[in-house]
Amino acid sequence: MDTGSDGKKGPLAGLTIIEMAGLGPAPLAALMLSEMGAEVIRIERMASGKAFLALPPEHDLDRHGRTILKLDLKRPEGIGLVLRLLEKADVLIEGFRPGVMERLGLGPEEAQRRNPKLIYARMTGFGQQGPLAGRAGHDLTYLAYSGVLHAIGPREGKPVPPLNLVADYGGGAMFLIAGILAALFEASRSGKGQVVDAAMVDGASMLAAPFFAFLAAGFWTDRRGSNLLDSGAPFYDTYETSDGRHLAVACLEPQFFAEFAALLPLEPHLAAAQYDRSAWGEMREAIARRIGEKTRDEWAALFEGADACVAPVLSLSEAPLHPHNRARRAHIHAGSLERPAPAPRFSRTPSVVAMPPKDVATVTDVLIRLGISAGEAEALAKAGIVGR
């Protein structure tokens, strides 16, 4: 893995992506594609309104690994420049509400008229069509409509937001990337681009496809906290330790549960009753009582090397320090920022860690490479179409 190299080496080297600036899943997708080797040109509006999250540049991953091009999209010259850039691009990523790009004059029809092979990737909450398509929302909104939020949380409590990992980044960014790569593969055969309609509510729903199957087969109940994987089972839950931290217990299979029961230890009649739901209440109380007798790290040491599927619940600041994560170099330093390393890993074409945006000279270089002369680039800057 290259940490901070200026060269593009990854499996997507040679791919050019135009990213319309936004928040959330689309920028994460663009970051990952950049670290896989794609050149990403992020187009930001010229207006200098206050950012929703005013992160310092060295911590702003929404901009790392890109060339930043500030354009006045209220003027036809700015729109015309975007269309000219799209003629040389492979992919466009946009995350606006349906109709915004069309009103700008940058919709799929116009873009693909200029470049028939263009992959036009659209990231929204509810998709391009449907009664809710034009509505605002966030991760929690889409999870609520997908049925996933209802399933997350304790049996006697309310649904719990799983950060914004499931709809924004799982159902959004990951499905957007999958759609882009699939469309690129198809375009390599057909010579034709297409529109990728990635909706967070669709992606979150697809992530939950196995649970819909479990529900249909009668292996899952539609009551939160009552099933094997939703904290309903005492052997798949978290428990508080004597120091107020937590231990994750996930010994679903009998052989793993047997090792857990032996090391805890658990009373013989409970150790023999893993899947007896009538014993789960007593089992949970026994596990909680026993785990409450030691600190988190004492339990981690006791279960180290065992196949009991027990782990200390690490904080975000603790995770980079764990020996396994250190051995894997799962976290890296990018300037002053310590962050997760690019994933997945490639044996021949390693990813390149994205760094903060380059200076304005690079913007001119990019414009020239994409067919804009140096003189015209300077004229656009003087006219206020391109930001300096």
Q: Where are the domains of the chain?
A: 2-207+332-382, 236-240+246-312
Residue 9 has pLDDT above 90, yes or no: no
Contact 243, 296 (CB under 8 A): yes
269 an active-site residue? no
Mean per-residue pLDDT of the chain: 93
Indicate the DSSP class of residue 114. H
Residue of 139, 168, 202, 230 marked active site: 168
- Topology adopted by domain 236-240+246-312: formyl-coa transferase, domain 3 (3.30.1540)
365 an active-site residue? no
Long-range CB pairs of 36-39 (<8 Å, 24+ gap) are: 36/10, 36/11, 36/12, 36/342, 36/346, 36/351, 37/8, 37/9, 37/10, 37/11, 37/12, 37/13, 37/349, 37/351, 37/352, 38/8, 38/10, 38/12, 38/13, 38/91, 39/8, 39/15, 39/67, 39/366
> Per-residue pLDDT averaged across 44-55, rounded?
73
pLDDT in tens, 135-154: 999 999 999 999 999 999 99
pLDDT at 49: 56
Q: Which of 14-18, 26-30, 65-69 has the lowest mean pLDDT?
A: 65-69
Long-range CB pairs of 80-85 (<8 Å, 24+ gap) are: 81/372, 81/380, 81/385, 81/386, 82/18, 82/43, 82/106, 83/110, 83/111, 83/114, 84/114, 84/370, 84/371, 84/372, 85/18, 85/41, 85/370
| Cβ partners under 8 Å of residue 327, min gap 6 | none
> Per-residue pLDDT averaged across 84-99, rounded?
97
Residue 102 has pLDDT above 70, yes or no: yes
Residue of 2, 59, 60, 138 marked active site: 138
pLDDT in tens, 278-335: 999 999 999 999 999 999 999 999 999 999 999 999 999 999 999 999 999 999 988 8
Cα–Cα distance for residue pair 313/330, rounded to 1 Å: 17
- Cα dihedral sign for 65, 180, 8, 40? negative
Q: Into which CATH architecture does domain 2-207+332-382 fall?
A: 3-Layer(aba) Sandwich (3.40)
Residue type, 383: A
Residue 176 has pLDDT above 90, yes or no: yes
| Cβ partners under 8 Å of residue 141, min gap 6 | 125, 167
Same fold, 2-207+332-382 and 236-240+246-312: no
DSSP per-residue codes, 338-380:
EEEPPSS--SSS--EE--SPP-HHHHHHHHHHTT--HHHHHHH
pLDDT at 5: 46
